[in-house]
Amino acid sequence: MNLITATGLTKIYKRGSEEVRALDGVSFSIEKGDIAAVTGPSGSGKTTLVNIIGCLDNPSSGVLKIDGNEIFKDGASFSESELTKVRRKFFGYIFQKFFLLPTLTVKENILVPSVFQKELTVTQEKINEVLEILGIARRKNHLPYELSGGEMQRVAIARALINSPEILIADEPTGNLDSKRSQEIQEILTQLNKERKITIILVTHNPEFAKIGNKKIEMKDGKITVEN
Ligand SMILES: Nc1ncnc2c1ncn2[C@@H]1O[C@H](COP(=O)(O)OP(=O)(O)OP(=O)(O)O)[C@@H](O)[C@H]1O
Ligand SMILES: [Mg+2]
């Protein structure tokens, strides 16, 4: 069964009297276990699309179904509290800017999502597990400024995994990294997909990185030009 189905998703931003069609009737589906690589020029709507898939933003029209639930339908949506539940149950998010809190240690940063989620109790085992997966156990008590860029992104990935999400949304996760660090992140994401069956939606400018996707979504001017 499709994990994610989008039908005719449209997002219109209004700037005064001018309208920007950031998404213009986009339809596709993603199956459980896919790595979907989203590519396309700057401004083509990639971030808009993955933010809507991740329920961080709402479409102006169209339907988004996640695991059979109609989250957005023709301008209507789940309530904010229902959206919060969907985000917590299904999604982990990784961004180009790592968004680590500078005064918190690695371990504390990883625990940030649990501070906002009453129902998410994180065991010491879970913390150790994500630290081990990302190879940052030695860095547990370090502050972000003591880390390399690659390590910061691995902390951000560990944080995204703390609620055991089914789907990882990664928007240009290696955009701030050199090619060696970028390669490490590619391997980590591939491994998470293979070993833990996490579905990954990856936005990248890097054609080599996009190759880890078994599915390709190419965008231009708010439309999908290639889906395979
Ligand atoms: N909050 C907003 N208000 C108005 N216009 C917006 C807003 N967010 C995005 N846009 C516009 O929507 C279009 C798509 O933007 P989006 O950020 O999705 O592109 P992108 O493909 O992620 O680009 P990049 O590769 O540069 O990150 C662009 O024309 C952008 O200017
Ligand atoms: Mg973007």
CB 47 less than 6 A from any atom of ligand 1: yes
- The residues with which 170 forms a beta bridge, in sequence order, are 94, 202
CATH code assigned at 223? 3.40.50.300
CB 44 less than 6 A from any atom of ligand 1: yes
Mean per-residue pLDDT, 77-106 = 92
Q: Identify which ligand lies nearest to the alpha carbon of 223.
A: 1
Asked whether residue 186 is domain-assigned, the answer is yes
Asked whether residue 63 is domain-assigned, the answer is no
pLDDT of residue 118: 74
| Whether pLDDT at 126 is above 80 | yes
Residue nearest to atom 29 of ligand 1 (CA): 43
CB 20 less than 6 A from any atom of ligand 1: yes
pTM: 0.94
Q: How many domains does the chain divide into? A: 1
Asked whether residue 164 is domain-assigned, the answer is yes
| Whether pLDDT at 119 is above 80 | no
Selection from 160, 74, 62, 66 nearest residue 109 by Cα: 160
Domain coverage including residue 192: 32-58+84-227
pLDDT of residue 193: 97
> What pairing do the DSSP bridges indicate for beta strands 91-95 and 35-39?
unpaired
Q: How far is the CA of 148 from the centre of ligand 2 (A)?
A: 23
CB 22 less than 6 A from any atom of ligand 1: yes
For 49-82, how does the pLDDT look when each residue is reduced to its tens digit (9 = 90+)?
Answer: 999 999 999 999 999 999 999 999 988 889 999 9
Q: How far is the CA of 118 from the centre of ligand 2 (A)?
A: 31
What is the chain's alpha carbon radius of gyration, rounded to the nearest angstrom?
A: 17
Q: Distance between CA atoms of 143 and 62, rounded to whole angstroms?
A: 43
CB 43 less than 6 A from any atom of ligand 1: yes
How does DSSP assign 92-128, residue by residue?
EEEESS----TTS-HHHHHHHHHHT-TT----HHHHH
Mean per-residue pLDDT, 76-104 = 92
Asked whether residue 65 is domain-assigned, the answer is no
Selection from 136, 132, 158, 157 nearest residue 147 by Cα: 136
